[in-house]
Amino acid sequence: MSDNQKSRLVGMNHIVLEVGDLDEALEFYEALFEFELRGRTKTQVFIDMGDQFLALAEGRDQGPDGHRHFGLVVDERESVREKLEEMDVEILDTRGLDFRDPWGNRVQVVLYKDIQFSKTDQVLKGMEMGDLEKTEDAIEQLKDKGLA
């Protein structure tokens, strides 16, 4: 690589969220989402998302997130909304589905079909989700970038 070249961003491998008690955090996220654990240590749990993962790490000490957030991609969103309402978790006033977990992490829940983010067929098959579709708008966004 020459001095003028920069490393290109390829994707996201994982996100780490700081939480209070790990067991409470795992219970909270298990109430909202279906997933398998990739692993666990004394201070972290790793939630599998195929070729990516979400790590929950014990030890959050800052206040709640304002605009800073991350998006979790799901196959359907209504059951998440219903469970948040059932659990009396505040749903933020946004166009989509945003909430803060009990430790102040702001989470945005987005539908796979609506966005240009894509998993390969092989990854979807490994996740037993081979039948996910995209909206025409998402397909057009992918085509505009030469990705579909």
pLDDT in tens, 45-98: 999 999 999 999 999 999 999 999 999 999 999 999 999 999 999 999 999 999
Q: For residue 91, what is the DSSP state?
A: B
78-86 helix and 22-32 helix, angle to the nearest 10 degrees: 130
DSSP 112: G
44-49 β-sheet, strand order: 14-19, 52-58, 44-49, 37-40
More confident residue, 96 or 11: 96
| pTM for this predicted structure | 0.89
Domains of the chain: 14-59+67-112 (3.10.180.10)
